[in-house]
Amino acid sequence: MTREELLRWLETRRPAPPAELRAHLESAVTDAELALPDHLAELGRRVLARVADQPSGERELALELLTADALVTYAFEAQAEADPAGLTSLAARIAGDER
């Protein structure tokens, strides 16, 4: 999925995120050759990894944590829209347990 396609999908979400969170979401979005749920989950993992790499960070990382949370939440939302039966598998992939 391209960055532009994903940004268009994010624009359809309701309720819309606050402007500051939306800006962080948009800055996290990249192109990827993944289905929408996996793409969102991967972006969420990347943002969370950046936060984890800054263990001394405190309040300034709160928006990054919210961004990671929103991306993973959107991954589940996209999976539920596409195929609810795939939610368990998506959860396993997000957790790194891809059995």
pLDDT along the chain (99 residues), means of 10: 95 95 96 96 94 81 94 97 96 79
Residue type, 54: Q
Q: How many domains does the chain have?
A: 1
Q: Residue 69 belongs to what domain range?
A: 3-95
Q: Under a CB-based contact definition with an 8 Å cutoff, are residues 14 and 83 in contact?
A: no
- pTM for the full predicted model: 0.91
- Angle between helix axes 19-28 and 36-52 (nearest 10 degrees) is 100
